[in-house]
């Protein structure tokens, strides 16, 4: 390895062997054999030859470090998680290593979609490392990110056959706020139930869920909306075109018709072809399919 020296008077401290030549020219060249790399600044007069047996002094691991990730919640489709803040009191020069559930991941990280019926939580930590591949701190908490539930747990619920809505011909177990045109097929008598998840994902405000027959004659049906997937104790609405108003976050209005949910809740819409007293409204052997619209309520 060769180093071009700008000054003859430079003092060279070599921690290694094999100094071959030192020219007396105004710009000298050192041909040093056996050096893997060099540290120091030649303009200051001192460089160090680093061999495999050389231990280069390095600064300690950063301390007093804090970190956070964002966003803290995602839809069932998953998505990107970024390291939002990172700082240390001991130094402003450092590198970071992001970990998800103890395993190193890229920055930003990308969380997969959640196809289960339960919310998935991921815990992030960060290691802060001194520059130039120096030592690293222990794991620093950076927060938890939740991915909403994506689909129902099974094809039955309380002994009923579960029907999953479709949108544009694709099974869609999760309703998207602001989207209309969800459809069902094979939704017949009282032995079947339509179930779909409605995820707030940090939303606030009110939405309305509209249920109607599509196609076919209008028939009464009962709808439920709560965090319990298989709760049919008290219907939220009964009628030929029942609507449900849902409020995410804020203060529970307790007005008797609004379903209140926290901004992190996953709600489940259930629809049955029954009227008051659980009386079937769809004849056996007949499909009484429905359409579902979800819109923001201003």
What is the predicted pLDDT for the residue at 273?
93
Picking from 204, 184, 205, 206, the residue whose alpha carbon sits closest to that of residue 270 is 184
Residue 130: inside a domain: yes
Scan for tokens 């007949």, then name that residue: 286
**Same structural domain, 227 and 196:** yes
**Same structural domain, 138 and 172:** no
**Same structural domain, 168 and 282:** yes
At 44, is the secondary structure helix, strand, or coil?
Answer: helix
Task: Give me the phi and psi of 256, to 5 degrees please.
Answer: 95, -15
Residue 288: inside a domain: yes
Residue 24: inside a domain: yes
**Same structural domain, 171 and 256:** yes
**Same structural domain, 229 and 160:** yes
Burial class (CB in 10 A: 0-12, 13-18, 19+), 96: buried
Q: How far is CA 8 from the centre of its chain?
A: 59
**Same structural domain, 265 and 164:** yes
**Other C-beta atoms within 10 Å of 7: how many?**
12
Count H helices, E strands: the chain? 0, 26
Listed residues 129, 147, 165: the one ending a domain: 147
Residue 55: inside a domain: no
Q: What is the mean pLDDT of residues 201-226?
A: 85
Number of domains in the chain: 3
Prior bond of 43 cis (ω within 30°) = no
**Same structural domain, 293 and 170:** yes
pLDDT, greater one: 176 or 203 = 176
**Same structural domain, 143 and 160:** no
Residue 138: inside a domain: yes
Burial class (CB in 10 A: 0-12, 13-18, 19+), 142: buried
**Other C-beta atoms within 10 Å of 263: how many?**
14
What is the predicted pLDDT for the residue at 20?
42
Listed residues 126, 147, 168: the one ending a domain: 147
**Same structural domain, 129 and 234:** no
Residue 56: inside a domain: no
What is the predicted pLDDT for the residue at 78?
82
Query: Structural domain of residue 29, as residue ranges?
Result: 2-50
Picking from 75, 51, 92, the residue whose alpha carbon sits closest to that of residue 145 is 75
Residue 252: inside a domain: yes
What is the predicted pLDDT for the residue at 166?
92
CATH assignment at residue 197: 2.60.120.380
- Mean pLDDT is highest, among 4-18, 99-113, 142-156, 247-261, for 99-113
**Same structural domain, 19 and 117:** no
**Same structural domain, 138 and 165:** no
Q: What is the mean pLDDT of residues 164-175?
A: 87
CATH assignment at residue 138: 2.60.40
Residue 143: inside a domain: yes
Task: Identify the weakest region by mean pLDDT among 66-70, 196-200, 245-249.
Answer: 196-200
Cα–Cα distance between 282 and 254 in angstroms, integer? 33
**Same structural domain, 278 and 235:** yes
Cα–Cα distance between 113 and 151 in angstroms, integer? 11
What is the predicted pLDDT for the residue at 3?
52
């Amino acid at each position: 390895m060769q180093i071009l020296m700008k000054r003859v008077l430079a003092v060279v401290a070599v921690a290694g062997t094999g100094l071959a030549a030192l020219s007396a020219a105004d710009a000298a060249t050192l041909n040093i054999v056996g050096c893997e790399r060099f540290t120091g600044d030649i303009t200051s007069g001192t460089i160090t030859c680093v061999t495999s047996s050389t231990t280069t002094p390095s600064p300690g691991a950063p301390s007093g470090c804090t970190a956070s990730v964002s966003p803290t919640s995602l839809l069932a489709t998953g998505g990107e998680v970024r390291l939002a803040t990172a700082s240390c009191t001991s130094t402003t020069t450092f590198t970071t290593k992001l970990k998800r559930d103890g395993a190193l991941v890229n920055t930003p990280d990308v969380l997969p979609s959640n196809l289960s019926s339960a919310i998935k939580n991921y815990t992030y930590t960060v290691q802060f490392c001194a520059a130039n591949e120096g030592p690293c701190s222990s794991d620093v908490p950076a927060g938890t990110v939740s991915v909403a539930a994506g689909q129902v747990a099974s094809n039955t619920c309380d002994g009923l056959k579960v029907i999953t809505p479709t949108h544009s011909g694709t099974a869609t177990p999760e309703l998207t706020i602001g989207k209309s045109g969800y459809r069902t097929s094979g939704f017949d008598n009282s032995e079947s139930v339509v179930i779909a998840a409605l995820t707030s994902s940090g939303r606030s405000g009110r939405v309305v869920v509209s249920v109607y027959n599509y196609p076919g004659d209008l028939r009464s049906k009962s709808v439920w909306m709560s965090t319990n997937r298989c709760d049919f104790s008290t219907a939220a609405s009964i009628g030929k075109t029942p609507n449900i108003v849902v409020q995410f976050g804020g203060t529970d209005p307790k007005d008797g018709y609004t379903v209140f949910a926290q901004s992190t809740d996953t709600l489940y819409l259930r629809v049955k072809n029954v009227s008051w007293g659980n009386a079937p409204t769809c004849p056996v052997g007949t499909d009484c399919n429905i359409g579902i619209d979800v819109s923001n309520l201003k």
